[in-house]
Structure 1
């Protein structure tokens, strides 16, 4: 990538149910945390912000979300007057798209310091289930098209597509993908459960994780069924959270103190891709995004020391290991089942606990992935530290089109110091 881009500072809140905290409060906490992590006393040099939130309309703010959330910060002199705020929305990939927008602004030479922010509140204490229909990221204009698509897929694998109340439609689409993989490649529910159990054990060591308890494979399998073969412990929970990252140019980085430069993380490669109604045997859009990211970084899957992948359900870890090139097509079940993605395995994945344990505050998720990889590359991950981690990969998908997401982002990070 030309015009090198660095993460100068990054911060995420713990993922929790925060009914007492407003969007503005969560935004402030993430932003000030990123400033502090970067060693900056103020944000006066920030050229602009890329702000993501997906479901803020549920709480009454339908437009200009970031602009509204930053009013107190501008008023208090913490964020520069007249700096533009660009609102970003890409489903569950929103946080990564905010990073991409901020990075591209620096790569273009239009800024030396930019901000990416993602904030989400998903827990409604008055009626926790009322928000679930708003998670539906399928085509609302032609719903029959995707319903027929899933019905045909279900008929092909002998498992009817049967959405039901009490869960998001996304869990049913992920279940169809898991069943298709099991039929075509022989992967098993036990292998999916092994991924979930590994991530719950990782999350137990992560103070920012929503679920901080270890689980065994048998306990994951015995949990309440959500949408077969996916049990509750295999599915990401609903939570609130925020994240922010300060991105800078190499010129700006060189002007910082030595201690700050030593903790900077280089965004070596960034790939984006769009979804379509793909055929079952076609690689996912995430493969395309990964190929772009690898090429721009001058890296291959063999160079990656650890990764955070989008496991809205634990099955996704199996599949995305294939799409990222960590193992061959159809080998994700065996790769995960053999412990290769555990800390201490050949390629640790989701050391944060993944979405199933760390939580999935939609617009903040991509930033939480970036935060985990940044502290790993800095050697600051404590009990879940991957030894000598130097190169990391992030995969984040959002929305649904058929058997894949609507948009995906893959980033390759390198330790700069």
Structure 2
């Protein structure tokens, strides 16, 4: 495979933006990317856009507005991993030699659904019986607390940390620190989860430029190398499920580490899928940055702080930055790009040279999650 680089990143800030549909949000992020990198429309060999709710031909509607008209473009739906899956396909195109310049983006508007939990497909036995994502993660949380001696205060520590990180992120949905008392006072969602243990439904978009080494040399923007890019789906079975072990994350991580030739101890920062506070604990253990059943202790000891052993969600994560589903995975890569090129400002992780991004999603019967996408990036 040929080396693949990220040579540009752009995010349209997350938040409630009911007047902007997914195509408009995606256009704003892609336009910013094009302006920053200085690429011309005819330089783009292929485009990929990720979205769960953005509608048919989203990528054409976005790219045509920046003048990219004619080359192959694809719209990817892979639940919360949609944007990261779009980046993965762009990586495949460059790594195979089929393309030198690729735009990949994710975009979503969730305001159109109003409040409450996101609608899930009814063509699923568990969802037909009332399963929603907060309930699924509440069950995982209850089992984790029972098995490993953690408490609801440990879940709260994740929310407090990530909201503290996001308070310094101008792209984040929430830019205010919270206290443990704020979490305790927020309304109950699904025991033991309270509102501030959960990420918000957000609107937003993010775009990255993926390119070959030769193409990257022609640009004035800094670059980082994509050392690993992996997508996996859940393994189907109808037997007992260990609610404290996200197998899909563990399998994806194993493949990503092998591809990159790196190990969990090499990571300086991780942007993971903390859709609920318990998710940070579960995925941190599956990623190998904490021992099984001890991630809550790592949070308590400051090991996941921005200046800790490995910074986890230094951007604020989904809990603070927000979660516009299809845009989340692409945004994580943007945040990692800025960290590795020293452009993260107040979010900067000291000496960051290796970053991992992780997003997973899609609740369907018989698997722990429907899709998982992971990228490992290094400073060039």
Identify the match of residue 241 of structure 2 among 261, 268, 279. 279
Do residues 362 (structure 1) and 325 (structure 2) align?
Answer: yes
Please point out which of 213, 216, 228 is paired with 1:269. Answer: 228
- Give TM-score, length-normalised by structure 1: 0.85
Q: Which runs of 5+ in 1 are unaligned?
A: 148-161, 164-168
Quote how far apart the aligned CAs of 1:145 are: 8.8
Which whole-Å CA distance do the structure 1 matches of 2:326 and 2:128 have between them? 24
Partner residue, 2:75: 87
Distance 2:218 2:118 in 1: 48
Among residues 325, 347, 368, which one is paired with 1:404 in the alignment? 368
Residue of structure 2 in register with 1:292 after alignment: 255
Q: Which of the numbers 316, 319, 323 marks the counterpart of 1:353?
A: 316
Match of 1:119?
A: 107
Question: What displacement does 1:358 show?
Answer: 0.4
Instruction: Say whether the 8 Å CA contact 1:271–1:291 is kept in structure 2.
Output: no
Query: Helix, strand or coil: the match of 1:31?
Result: helix
CA distance in 2 between partners of 1:321 and 1:292 (Å): 16
Q: How many aligned residue pairs are there? A: 375
Cross-structure match for 1:42: 40
**Conserved 8 A contact 1:177-1:403:** no
Superposed displacement of residue 28, structure 1: 1.9
Alpha-carbon offset, residue 381 of structure 1: 1.4
Correspondence for 2:207: 244
C-alpha offsets along residues 280-329 of structure 1, whole Å, 9 cap, x if unaligned? 17652101101111111110000000110001101111111101100111
| Aligned ranges 1:14-413 → 2 under 5 Å | 14-38=13-37, 40-56=38-54, 61=55, 63-73=56-66, 78-79=67-68, 81-124=69-112, 128-129=114-115, 132=117, 134=119, 136=120, 140-144=122-126, 169-257=132-220, 260=221, 263-275=222-234, 276-277=236-237, 279-280=241-242, 284-401=247-364, 404-413=368-377
Distance of 1:255 and 1:133 partners within structure 2: 43
Cα separation, partners in 2 of 1:213 and 1:295, compared to 1, 3 Å: same
Q: Encode CA deviations 1:324-352: one digit per residue, 9 max, x unaligned.
A: 10011111111112221111211110011
Q: Do the aligned residues in 2 keep the contact of 1:327 with 1:335 (CA within 8 Å)?
A: yes
- Is the 2:246–2:282 Cα contact (8 Å) retained in structure 1? no
2:374 is paired with a residue of what secondary structure?
A: strand
Contact kept in structure 1, 2:245 and 2:282, CA below 8 Å: no
How much has 1:217 moved relative to structure 2? 2.3
The SS at the match of 1:14 is: strand
Name 1:166's counterpart in structure 2: none
CA distance in 1, matches of 2:22, 2:245: 40
Q: Which moved more, 1:280-289 or 1:392-401?
A: 280-289
Distance in 2 separating the partners of 1:210 and 1:188:
27
- 1:186-208 CA-partner distances (Å, limit 9, x unpaired): 22211111010000111110000
The alignment's C-alpha RMSD in Å is 1.9
121 and 349 in structure 1: CA distance in 2 versus 1, 3 angstrom threshold:
same
Distance in 2 between residues matched to 1:144 and 1:33, nearest whole Å? 41
| 1:195 alignment partner, SS class | helix
Shift of 1:410: 1.4
Q: 1: distance between equivalents of 2:282 and 2:370?
A: 16
Q: Which has the larger radius of gyration?
A: 1
1:144 shift after superposition: 5.0
